[in-house]
Structure 1
Amino acid sequence: MSTTTTEELSATTLLRFATAGSVDDGKSTLVGRLLHDSKSVLVDQLEAVERASASRGQEVPDLALLTDGLRAEREQGITIDVAYRYFATPLRRFILADTPGHVQYTRNMVTGASTAELTVILVDARNGVVEQTRRHAAIAALLRVPHVVLAVNKMDLVGYEEQVFAAIAEEFTAYATELGVPEVTAIPISALVGDNVVEPSANMDWYGGPTVLEHLETVPVSHDLSHCHARLPVQYVIRPQSADHPDYRGYAGQIAAGSFRVGEAVTVLPSGRTSRISGIDLLGESVDVAWTTQSVTVLLEDDIDISRGDLIVPSKDAPATTQDIEATVCHVADAPLTVNHRVLLKHGTRTVKAIVKDIPSRLTLDDLSLHPHPGQLVANDIGRVKIRTAEPLPVDSYSDSRRTGSFILIDPNDGQTLTAGMVGESFASPEPVKDEAEDEGWDF
């Protein structure tokens, strides 16, 4: 294990990142190599991998088994679920999401990358940029992941040729730039033998950039939401039956963005009622200020009606409420999403009935063209939707807040997640067309 001390960890920053790529591009091997070479693997974990590898007739440990933990994954030799790993170096702490590469599990990347500040997209040097590469780049762009690393893997199988790497890097960077990805860093690697993963490669002296770990340790972390629009989705109303605090009424939740201070004027949405913060409880202690990701209980000066699903915001910075939402979505369910589809929309801690009024366009990943009014979205499709909700919702643009600008659509019959949505995000979809269809039942 790493010899990083507790004091050193307290002074380091946290980077959340995800890996993605087509099947057999070597994502799990890269993650395993990263953990192994950075000395972030426990001895018993490594011994278990060595035993499992030997039982399969492999002479050297298969480092992919460090992340492919499910039995079905080991048997099939592919990643089918998002595997989270936590490790640290003296310079930074990491939360890593290893996402599947198989096309039918593309939806899992949305889960893995939704909170990531960086995405590592792998490409097999022998195959170059394929459809799944473009799909993952599009999802990274939609989710507004600020940093993308293109890891051109298996360079040992193409003779470590610089021209092969340069051609792939140029093609991918052009595509990602057109999608709006702000930054692409291309690194030639061989995860199997460790070239440019943790240690610089002796086989590619033509490359003078950082290794994968060096880049992860030094890339600027831009996930600080403490200066964004302050938002507190209410998860629970606390009313303890205590003689010491007979009038205690607190509103508990995790701060999604920004910060709150005692004495600050706040508005509760969607009702629009106003009050001031009289106290903030954090881990059983009273504090004057609390900020993003902290779980707190807020007390207000006025006794107003607040329940789970409401949103507490600063009165000077309250978002507008609306029943009409336009968004770009990634459809994740096997059943298609269709026009007039009746769904539940979950935004923050609030869930309301909704209807899909229109699907203006579907994105074609090959050339980034838009297929107008496809009528439906099927699994892994990326498209534009217009939704009408039964109740007003205080939504932010996803470009302003990845937390309060996102939502999911749920099947009201069985609770299955259908679609992940980003409010206001668009690939310049065509002009909307008025929906003349009649809505039966859920008529909002």
Structure 2
Amino acid sequence: MSILEIIVPDLPESVVDASISIWNKKPGDQVNIDEILVEIETDKVIIEIPAVSNGILETILEDKNSVVKSRQVIGLLKINNDFNNNVNDNNNQDQKNNDNNPDQKKDILINQQQEDLIKEKQEKKEILTPSIRRFIAKYDLDISKIKNDYSNQRITMEKVKNLLEYHNNDNRSIINNYSNIDRVEKSVPMTRLRKRIAERLIAAKNSTAMLTTFNEVNMASIINIRKQYGDLFERIHGVRLGFMSFYVKAVIEALKQYPEINAFIDGDNVIYHNYFDVSIAISTPRGLITPIIHDADHMNMADIEKKIKDLSTKGRDNKLKVEELTGGNFTITNGGVFGSLMSTPILNPPQSAILGMHAIQDRPVAVQGEVVILPMMYLALSYDHRLIDGREAIGYLVKIKELLEDPIRLLLDI
């Protein structure tokens, strides 16, 4: 019998601490190797800590919402080496016996099918419709008590209301007038990510001289390329040809000509990057995050599209690694996917600039003395005026406009 410590992994330098999000096991529970014991939340990602061995969760030293640091011991796992060895030997012997006894294998299969059927029926009974879930969440009700009282029955809205009336007469007026009452408030603690976003936004406003310059771009050429080659691109590369790969390419080429944009202030010094790590703003259920396309200048259009898709999927599923959120020289945010016509994006410190893309709309434009309808998009570049002068900021945005209006130059690298 031995004890293993459950330790918080090393957090990156930019992350000071983390908090316990949830323990998936209780003290005394049996634990299998690689099973997720606990999830901890930083201001960037959720980190899962798996069991390194079979055993029993002996002790939880840090409860939910506790603040923890790198290498801190948060729990103890009891390991029974003899038990682990016996389990492996027994599993091997059981498998051997089953292989030699067809009738026994058949019985085991039938039993397993019966258990799966029972489990499936039970799960169907426990399904709560969206309206029931909204009702429960709206009045902060105990869902476990409802499931316990109706463990063998399908849960309906009427049963939930009747149960609550029976258990708590004070809720009767609320329940009876549920459809007419909408003035209910509840206090919910901010997540670490939301707190961090708030802190960074205030810091960006108070510690930089932020200014925004605007321009507009004719997106007809890119739209035509996507229409003409989009299907072929997807068949060859297995990913759709979106707008973001054009934006990333244009940003990088323009950064090469305006190194001040690819720099940041460090005390009394200016640090110039000689590499191009582009942050992409992604909206997730937890909040806005900015995962990074590292060394984006070495990628082609297909590589960029695949990377963006991978980062977006991981972001929505809370599967991003810390290194995928650390660093970044310049940020692109695309409010156009939500219908934004124009905005003033806020800086992502310590970066010195951020580019805002917006909705593409058909608008009347004067071209050589004639009014024509073109698919136009507003561009917005927010920048730190302490480091970047207006001439550089405007020149940089004009360069992006030129590249997007003539995307062949991006593809030919000219």
> TM-score normalised by the shorter chain: which range applies?
under 0.3
Which is higher, the Rg of structure 1 or of structure 2? Answer: 2
Higher relative contact order (CA 8 A, sep 6+): 2
Q: What TM-score, normalized to structure 1?
A: 0.19
Q: Which has the higher strand share?
A: 1
